[in-house]
Amino acid sequence: MSSLFLPSGRVMLEALVLVLVAASAGLSLNYSMVMKAFSGRNVVAVPQAATQRAALQFPMPVDYEELDQLLAAGHLLVDARDPNIYADSHLAGAISLPLAEVDQLLAEFSARVPHDKPLILYCNGFGCPDSFDLGVRLIAEGYLQVQVYEGGLPEWRDRGRQLESGVTP
């Protein structure tokens, strides 16, 4: 009776082979997502229709590796941090639009920056929600190309990139 419920060595071997084949197939089909997960980057995988709907409501993340290409294409860096912190140090070429003062500064910002201008918002790194919250607000105000650089100033600085000080001209 006990041999009826205990799998034989051959059955166990076949099960192990099936598990290994399935795991290999899954990893090969999702290689880029797995590599992003191990590097700490965003791994959200959603259908394209859902991505397009989300793009209308939420800013999309941008990786450090994409920044140079986007900036060369004309995207504008926007610092969502406190203006005093911005004045001390900010990403080269960035303008200031602090989340805490967006109600007072939005009209001036809209007059200076067209709604079709692609924006890349940032703040104090991965734990800082200000750039995302500012992005949601700007999308609600009609800006259509809003992205968030989640690594923010800390990642930029740690990679040896140029920082500036002073206020927005």
Distances from the Cα of 106 to the Cα of 46, 101, 163, angstroms:
32, 8, 25
Buried residues in 109-129 as b, exposed as e (16+ CB within 10 A): beeebeeeeebbbbbbbeebe
Query: Which three-class secondary structure state does DSSP give residue 146?
Result: strand
* Tens-place pLDDT, residues 110-144: 999 999 999 999 999 888 999 999 999 999 999 98
Instruction: Output the six-digit token pair for 26.
Output: 């899954």
Give me the mean pLDDT over the 134-157 stretch.
95
Whether 64 shows a pLDDT value over 60: the answer reads yes
Whether 81 shows a pLDDT value over 90: the answer reads yes
Query: Which three-class secondary structure state does DSSP give residue 70?
Result: helix
Please give the pLDDT value at position 53.
45
Minimum mean pLDDT range among 36-40, 85-89, 146-150, 158-162 = 36-40
Give me the mean pLDDT over the 103-107 stretch.
95
Instruction: Output the six-digit token pair for 69.
Output: 């290409």
Whether 156 shows a pLDDT value over 60: the answer reads yes
Q: What is the pTM of this model?
A: 0.67
* Tens-place pLDDT, residues 25-40: 777 777 766 666 666 6
Instruction: Output the six-digit token pair for 48.
Output: 């394209």
Looking only at the bridges linking them, the beta strands covering 146-149 and 119-122 are parallel
Percent of the chain at pLDDT exceeding 90: 60
Please give the pLDDT value at position 4.
53
